[in-house]
Structure formats: C-alpha cells, structure tokens
Amino acid sequence: MAQHLLEAGTASRRDVTINIRARQRQRDLIDEAAAILGKNRSDFMLETACREAESVLLDRRTFVLDEATWERFTALLDAPPRDLPQLRELLSTPAPWER
C-alpha cells in the first residue's frame, strides 16, 4: 500500500507541505540515517512515515466479513489441527545449539 502511494507520488509533483518541529539531535539522527541510504531528509522521512502508517493500518484487528465468509472462517478456526508429520518432526528436533 505505502509503496504504491510512494510510487504514485513520485510520478506527479508534490503539492502539499508537512511541517514538524524537532530537536537538533533528532534532525541529526534523521540526516545521518538518510545519508547512509543515499536519500535526502524529506524523502527519508516521507518514506519512513508512509511505511509506518501502512504498518499501523494493516495491523488493525477489526475486519468485516459477510455471513458466509464468517461461517467459513470460524469453521476453520474451530476445526481440529491437521497432523503434519514434517512439522511434528521439525518441532521435536533439537536446535543445533542444544545438541
């Protein structure tokens, strides 16, 4: 989602301004990170903010389903787990650092 918004935004000119106040150390930290990635402060901040916004939106715990989809969803949740021999083996194998 955010990547789509970023790509769409680069195709046209930016037409709104976002202003924020920061402490000197915060600005320096942002500038240092942006420079490491070869970006300017504005691009770095905009991309980072959009990525975080997308994460917040995708992490919503409320979703709406129609009746039929809800019934299928709850049936899958209520069904007993399938026996997966490969998974059972994987989970019973000690980790390399435990050997």
29: in domain: yes
78: in domain: yes
pLDDT at 74: 94
The mean-pLDDT minimum among 4-8, 20-24, 61-65, 68-72 falls in 4-8
Say whether 82 sits in a helix, a strand or coil.
coil
80: in domain: yes
Question: What does the pLDDT average to over 60-68?
Answer: 87
46: in domain: yes
Average pLDDT of the chain is 88
Residue 43 has φ and ψ, to the nearest 5°, of -65, -45
Question: What does the pLDDT average to over 25-45?
Answer: 97
How many domains in the chain?
A: 1
Which token pair is 2? 């955010």
99: in domain: no
pTM of the model: 0.53
Using alpha carbons, list the distances in angstroms from residue 7 to 10, 39, 56, 97. Answer: 5, 15, 19, 44
Share above pLDDT 70 across residues of the chain, in percent, rounded to a whole number: 89
Question: What does the pLDDT average to over 10-25?
Answer: 87
8 Å CB contact between 44 and 34: yes
- Would the pLDDT of 48 be above 70? yes
